[in-house]
Amino acid sequence: MKLTIKDLSGQARGELDIQFDIIQNGKGTQAVHDTVVAYQAAQRSGTAATKARGEVAGSGKKPWRQKGTGRARAGSRRSPLWRGGGVVFGPQPRDFSKKVNTKTKQLALRKALSERLKAGDVIVVEDLTLAAPKTRNIVNILRALEIDGTALFVSAAADKNLLLATRNLREVTLTTSDLLNTYDVLRPDKLVFTRGALEKVEARLAKN
């Protein structure tokens, strides 16, 4: 598969051959599902917590004598049956992360990228270097590339000017080729790679 390389004004500046095997069949669908579920699970903080009867504040004294009062037996003011008492089987801090092996992640990324390439949602630009960190520069680039909707910019390395220029745009996110994952590939309407970033991603997918 060949992709057209564009400059920041939207003009064609050459072509680029994709260096990894495009997945044409249903292979990798389960890998994509597993990887995305694991990614979203890892985003959960897992900090929900309640106090059991041994952790809530309150006296350990028996509220009243066992017999003779006409009331139900009570041994503690911290009972889960009482207002202000402990919680039975409440949530405790936990780790929601799921294990996904490296080959599954690689297959998922290749499958997701293959589908976006076949759908025509991948744009390659020669470079994304900005002279100044101005949001209007990114807006002009989006117009030149005819992007209407959400977009993910993928650069070969971290760029401070690019980071500052994109952070005020809700529909634009930024990542690097080393940090690109399956969820990132599937989420936006368009993917904008620099030539160097796409070559680095291809090198990742070429590893056995």
User: Over its length of 208 residues, how does the chain's per-residue pLDDT go in tens digits?
Assistant: 888 999 988 898 888 888 888 998 889 999 999 999 999 999 999 999 999 999 999 988 999 999 999 999 999 999 999 999 999 999 999 999 999 999 999 999 999 999 999 999 999 999 998 989 999 999 999 999 999 999 999 999 999 999 999 999 999 999 999 999 999 999 999 999 999 999 999 999 887 5
What phi and psi values does residue 154 have, to the nearest 5 degrees? -115, 115
Distance CA 41, CA 75 (A): 41
Return the pLDDT at 208. 56
CATH number for domain 2-45+97-206, candidates 1.10.10.10, 3.40.120.10, 3.40.1370.10, 3.30.56.10: 3.40.1370.10
Cα separation, 200 vs 91, whole angstroms = 43
Q: For residues 106 and 34, what is the distance between their CA atoms, to the nearest angstrom?
A: 12
Distance from C-alpha of 82 to C-alpha of 77, rounded to nearest angstrom = 7
pLDDT at 13: 87
- The structure's pTM equals 0.84
- The strand ranges marked E within the chain are 2-6, 12-17, 122-125, 151-155, 172-176, 190-194
pLDDT of residue 21: 86
Residue 203 vs residues 176, 177, 200: alpha-carbon distances, Å: 14, 10, 5
Joined together, the tokens standing for residue 179 give 């940090």
Distance CA 71, CA 194 (A): 76
**Under a CB-based contact definition with an 8 Å cutoff, are residues 10 and 144 in contact?**
yes
What pLDDT is recorded for position 192?
A: 96
- Name 172's bridge partners: 151
Residues 130-178: tens digit of each pLDDT: 989 999 999 999 999 999 999 999 999 999 999 999 999 999 999 999 9
Give the residue extent of every domain in the chain: 2-45+97-206, 50-90
